[in-house]
């Protein structure tokens, strides 16, 4: 079985309570870091963290729904990112919780499993989380992401929007109901979030895959306010013309007041 197939199976297996199968996908030094479990290192701790995740999914009566998987390289590292949603209901309302799982590969085994998502759809507020990875100042990005990172740092929504295909979309961490395409992308998403100033990210990983790039980052400043290294991830689909077709963001950053 391909490593990307394994990563796609991780959340359904956890939801089913099949912790042993997940452990078998990991290397000799298993590690996991999620919003629910925090950091867990070593066989016993990771096994306990997986059980806690399984209990959490069960408490939501949620169903994992795989979306897409990206496999790419950064010099010397092969990395996989898997996007999925947890579908759940709260009363008469139906919600989707987007989750990004990232893992560096060691042969055909997953290394540390890192998961990113917002807590907003679950508890109605953001939940601060300690940084997972350190900033890597040696990262060299590629276009159009290089310009995108500069545009959001400058707080320039028009510049950001120019990097998208006309029908491209941006999706907030809180799910598909917060997806903005076409003219709404600038007017209802990038203009409001950049109204008070730009967003500064420290990149931790940058991985190019066929038709996309995915990143892991620490959000450090928003409109000049110190955020305290809030971890997150994002996936950007890139068209043949070299523009973004989609930007899907996975973080739990509190906006500045």
CATH number at residue 173: 3.10.450.50
Whether residues 153 and 220 share a domain: the answer is yes
Distances from the Cα of 5 to the Cα of 66, 141, 161, 189, 219, angstroms:
11, 27, 34, 33, 30
- Strand 244-251 versus strand 212-222 pairing type: unpaired
Given a cut of 80, is residue 173 above it in pLDDT? yes
Whether residues 81 and 160 share a domain: the answer is no
Contact (CB, 8 A) for 31 and 16: no
Residue pLDDT, tens place only, 53-66: 999 999 999 999 99
Crossing angle (nearest 10°) for helices 3-15 and 43-60: 60
Residue pLDDT, tens place only, 146-166: 999 999 999 999 999 999 999
Tokens of 62: 């949620």
Number of domains in the chain: 2
Can you give the pLDDT at residue 1? 55
Whether residues 86 and 175 share a domain: the answer is no
Whether residues 101 and 169 share a domain: the answer is no
Whether residues 118 and 214 share a domain: the answer is no
Whether residues 55 and 153 share a domain: the answer is no
Can you give the pLDDT at residue 4? 67
For residues 58-75, average pLDDT: 93
Whether residues 32 and 113 share a domain: the answer is yes
Whether residues 94 and 182 share a domain: the answer is no
Whether residues 117 and 227 share a domain: the answer is no
Whether residues 77 and 188 share a domain: the answer is no
Residue pLDDT, tens place only, 211-240: 999 999 999 999 999 999 999 999 999 999
Range of the domain at 37: 3-122
Domain annotation covers residue 257: no
Domain annotation covers residue 208: yes
| Greatest C-alpha distance within the chain | 50
């Amino acid at each position: 079985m391909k490593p990307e197939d394994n990563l796609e199976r991780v959340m359904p297996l956890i939801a089913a309570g099949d912790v042993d199968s997940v452990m078998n996908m990991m290397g000799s030094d298993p590690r996991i870091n999620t919003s629910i479990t925090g950091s867990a290192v070593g066989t016993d701790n990771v096994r306990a963290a997986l059980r806690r995740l399984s209990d959490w999914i069960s408490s939501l009566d949620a169903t994992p729904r795989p979306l897409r998987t990206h496999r790419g390289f950064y010099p010397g590292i092969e990395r996989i990112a898997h996007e999925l949603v947890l579908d759940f209901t709260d009363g008469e309302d139906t919600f989707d919780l987007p989750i990004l799982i990232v893992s560096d590969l060691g042969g055909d085994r997953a290394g540390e499993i890192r998961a990113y998502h917002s807590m907003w759809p679950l508890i109605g507020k953001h939940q601060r989380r300690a940084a997972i990875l350190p900033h890597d100042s040696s990262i060299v990005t590629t276009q159009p992401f290089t310009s995108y990172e500069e545009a959001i740092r400058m707080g320039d929504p028009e510049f950001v929007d120019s990097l998208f295909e006309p029908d491209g979309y941006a999706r907030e961490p809180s799910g598909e109901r917060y997806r903005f395409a076409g003219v709404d992308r600038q007017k209802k998403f990038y203009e409001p979030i950049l109204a008070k100033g730009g967003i500064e990210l420290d990149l931790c990983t940058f991985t190019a895959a066929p038709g996309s790039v995915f990143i892991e980052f620490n959000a450090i400043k928003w409109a000049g306010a110190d955020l305290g290294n809030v971890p997150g991830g994002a996936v950007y689909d890139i068209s043949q013309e070299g523009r973004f077709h989609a930007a899907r963001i996975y973080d739990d950053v509190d906006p500045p007041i």
